Structure 1
Amino acid sequence: MWFGLGLASAADLIFPGAFFPVVLATCSGGLAVDPLYVDAVRVLGCGRAAVWRKVLLPGSLPSVVTGVRVGLGIAWMTLVAAEFIGVRGGYGLGYMIMSARDLQRTDMVMAGMAAIGLIGLGMEWCLKRLSQPLMRWQ
């Protein structure tokens, strides 16, 4: 526990876990755009901003959304794990599950696990609904 116990340590664990998948997916999406499209738009007289807006951003958007979905899942798992091991104060689903385990309250453990799953499912559903209007062509 290099960062101590508390919310700051949880954030220090969550940020790198969620940040790097998003960055890697964004870079790979940008590199996957066919250079032929970029050349075609430049030949038609579009400037640098138009190339970004009309070709690179729409072409890399599926990879960016995938990276955000992966990053969100990792952030959610890391948050619960950080609550298991290092957040003081007696709050959070991870803390609730650990306390219920210590008290041998299987019903509370199962309820916490169900809540984790349902919240993760809800986040995935919201992200999917938000990304659909951005990628109408898929």
Structure 2
Amino acid sequence: MRSLVWPLKKIPPTLSTNFRWLVISLVSFLLLWGTVSLLLNEPTLLPTPWEVFIGFFNLIKDGQLLTDIQASLQRVFIGFFIATCLAVPLGIILAYFYIPRQILLPIITILRPIPPIAWIPLAILWFGIGDSSSYFITALAAFFPIFINSFAGGKAVEHQHINAAKCLGARRFSLVTTIFLPSAMPQVWAGLRIGLGQSWMAVVTSELIAAQSGLGYMIQANRLNLETSYVLVGMVVIGILGALMNAALGYIEQYVIPWKPQYLHG
């Protein structure tokens, strides 16, 4: 008996508590879902969790689900990479240089409130239906939260740090790379997490309209065929993958920004 109990003592109390509440939350949600679906007794409107579970394995068996997951992830990661390469340097540069900030910031301020879905007609006209338009939409969705956080992080740099670096002979490029960027990284990383989430939501939206593959396209095709269980499979997979990507960035953060205080939540 002792050999079975002893390994459990190695689990941190906070992790164990969080896992317990996660199980309780999921079980409660599944029970509520199952009860409502049984009361409705209409699988086309709301299938039971078991029917969705069977649908998941059917899609896995024929390979279609994995193909659509791969297509969606590829579009998100490429668009997110493009947005990161553009938004982080631009945010830091505009935070430091006055003239570029005065020229570009009003344009970005006007473009930022336009939702990514409003750009889909133009994306189709410019790039056609396929991966290129999805790359554009996902990059656009991720760009603005990453830029805003990068710019805010650059503006929050302490002036005494800048003055101290200047006294030590640092030039402008060194100031940006060794002072602005490390100081702004906590907010930049927060922008990356938000941007990845926005990009993930945008790719599903774009695939509903401007793609021939991906999770969004799968949901749309099965909706037209009244295969509601497959629609819910797509929705559940989208939620799980989005949560996993956010958790992965949160895990990587402690290694990329070791100087940021890490707060434990009970």
TM-score, scaled relative to structure 2: 0.47
Which residue in the other structure is 2:170 paired with? Answer: 47
Deviations 1:79-132 (A, max 9, x none): 0001111112xx211111111211222211111111001110111111111111
Match of 1:133 among 247, 255, 260: 255
Tell me the distance in 1 between the aligned counterparts of 2:230 and 2:208: 15
Which residue in the other structure is 2:191 paired with? Answer: 67
Tell me the distance in 1 between the aligned counterparts of 2:246 and 2:189: 11
Which residue in the other structure is 1:114 paired with? Answer: 236
Match of 1:22 among 143, 146, 163: 146
Tell me the distance in 1 between the aligned counterparts of 2:237 and 2:250: 20
Q: Which runs of 5+ in 1 are unaligned?
A: none
1:5 is the counterpart of 2:129: yes
Tell me the distance in 2 between the aligned counterparts of 1:86 and 1:40: 52
CA 1:121–1:46 in structure 2 vs 1: closer, same or farther (change >3 Å)? farther
Shift of 1:53: 4.6
SS at match of 2:239: helix
Tell me the distance in 1 between the aligned counterparts of 2:257 and 2:169: 22
Which residue in the other structure is 2:217 paired with? Answer: 95
Match of 1:58 among 182, 185, 195: 182
- Considering only aligned residues, what root-mean-square deviation do their CA atoms show, in Å? 1.7
Counterparts of 1:78-89 in structure 2, within 5 Å, are 78-88=202-212
Tell me the distance in 2 between the aligned counterparts of 1:135 and 1:17: 24
Tell me the distance in 1 between the aligned counterparts of 2:153 and 2:147: 10
Shift of 1:54: 4.2
Amino acid at match of 1:35: H
Tell me the distance in 2 between the aligned counterparts of 1:79 and 1:71: 12
54-63 vs 77-86, which moves further: 54-63
Aligned residues: 135
Deviations 1:5-55 (A, max 9, x none): 222221222222212221221111111111122223333x25235544543
Match of 2:245 among 115, 120, 123: 123
Q: Which runs of 5+ in 2 are unaligned?
A: 1-120, 262-266
Structure exhibiting the larger radius of gyration computed from Cα positions? 2
Q: Quick one: higher RCO (CA 8 Å, sep 6+), 1 or 2?
A: 1
SS at match of 1:5: coil
